[in-house]
Copies of this chain bind each other. A is one copy, B any other.
Amino acid sequence: MWSAMSETTSTAPTSADVARLAGVSRATVSYVLNDTAGGRVSEKTRLRVRAAADQLGYVPHAAARSLRAGHTGLVLMAAPEITFGPLFNEFFAELRAGLRDHGYTAVLYGTRGDLSGREIARAWAELRPTAVITGVTDDLTPEGVEILRRSGTRAVLSLAERPVPGAHSLLLDQSAVGATAGEHLVARGHRAIGVVMPTDATLRRFSEPRLAGVRQAAAGARVEPLALDYTESSAAELAARWRSLGLTGLFCYNDEYAALIQAAFQDAGIAVPTDAALVGADDLMLARVLRPRLTSVHVSLPEGIALADLIDRLIREPDTPPETYRIGDATITVRDSS
């Protein structure tokens, strides 16, 4: 089988093939196809080289070109393999578009959490990315930053709740999400507040600081964490014991969990907001299609275009000392559920 493969790869046209067909030197092919010809190559020759490359289907190798340009132009967005909500999907799509406008190729690299910080950084470094941006993950370590920098990565950014030494940081303050929900419930007079804690372990990095934020904002009030699976039966159980809990307000982790709970409460005859004031987070379209409409914490992520501009600047100035940006302003969108 593997011999069949080398047959396939041996037919890949090279710049030498292009040079032969165009009747020019390989250096000329390189000048023309990498736009580094300056005034050295006539327009006529240029056209001949391009026509030969087209005819043969010759494609320069990004990694080979990187030896000349000094970089691959690859921007690796590394994020854990959890199901992102629409909010993050849209953010990533915008960022990709912005990076492409700057001439970079952005790809998303899913991580699974079973490699050490060193191993995962080496896996990234093997692709020789020009920049790496890691999203909501602990995969990036100071040693990982060092490995990437040494292998030529010019900018390493982390989008996380805590800064990573050596990397630029986009700090996403999850406790502010909980604090915003807590402040709202306290302002509405609630003194006994439940906080939904998804049992899904991949969400702990969000749920724990959100809980801490509620506790901080609702100092003096009773705050009760409530474990919940993302299933109808788990929500029905919560509804069944709601009255015995003695709580009046509930921060539901996010809008999707809130939708699940609101349906279970409706089935159990628990009136929202009178028997239970519900607050979601992420302010999805979902919050507006529920009845009663859901109060939700709105989180503003940075514009993908602005972030692409920042990444481009940090690539162009690779010796910039680590910079820190606070992102994700939390505000409350009050609707009918609280």
Which A residues are closer than 8 A to B by beta carbons?
1-2, 4-9, 11-13, 56-57, 59-65, 70-71, 74, 76, 81-84, 86, 89-90, 92-93, 96-97, 100, 105-110, 112, 122-123, 125-128, 146-147, 149-152, 154, 230, 232, 256, 259-260, 262-263, 266-267, 285-286, 288-291, 316-319
Say whether B57 contacts A146, CB under 8 Å: yes
28 A-B pairs (CB sep. < 8 Å): A1-B316, A2-B316, A4-B319, A5-B71, A7-B319, A11-B150, A13-B150, A56-B150, A57-B146, A59-B125, A59-B147, A61-B128, A62-B126, A62-B127, A62-B128, A63-B64, A76-B107, A83-B86, A83-B90, A83-B93, A97-B110, A105-B126, A106-B110, A108-B109, A259-B289, A260-B289, A263-B290, A267-B291
Count copies of this chain in the complex.
2
Among candidates B71, B151, B316, residue contacting A57 with C-beta atoms closer than 8 Å: B151
- Given the interface pairs A13-B150, A62-B127, the reply to whether A109 lies near B107 with Cβ below 8 Å is yes
> Do most interface residues of chain A lie in helix, strand or loop, or is the interface mixed?
helix
CB distance from A211 to the nearest CB of B (A): 23
Say whether B70 contacts A97, CB under 8 Å: no
Question: Lowest 10 CB-CB distances: which A-B pairs, in order?
Answer: A63-B63, A107-B107, A108-B108, A62-B126, A59-B125, A81-B93, A263-B289, A96-B110, A57-B150, A259-B289
For the complex, give the distance between the alpha carbons of A1 and B135 in Å.
27
Say whether B60 contacts A318, CB under 8 Å: no
Q: A8-B318, A63-B64 are in contact. List 4 more A-B contacts (CB 8 A).
A: A8-B149, A57-B151, A83-B90, A232-B288
CB distance from A125 to the nearest CB of B (A): 4
Among candidates B76, B92, B105, residue contacting A123 with C-beta atoms closer than 8 Å: B105
For the complex, give the distance between the alpha carbons of A288 and B150 in Å.
51
CB distance from A100 to the nearest CB of B (A): 7
A256 to chain B: closest residue by CB: B285
A267 to chain B: closest residue by CB: B291
CB distance from A194 to the nearest CB of B (A): 19
Say whether A8 contacts B105, CB under 8 Å: no
A230 to chain B: closest residue by CB: B285
Say whether A97 contacts B126, CB under 8 Å: no
A94 to chain B: closest residue by CB: B81
Among candidates B9, B65, B93, B317, residue contacting A152 with C-beta atoms closer than 8 Å: B9
A232 to chain B: closest residue by CB: B288
For the complex, give the distance between the alpha carbons of A86 and B85 in Å.
8
Say whether A286 contacts B286, CB under 8 Å: yes
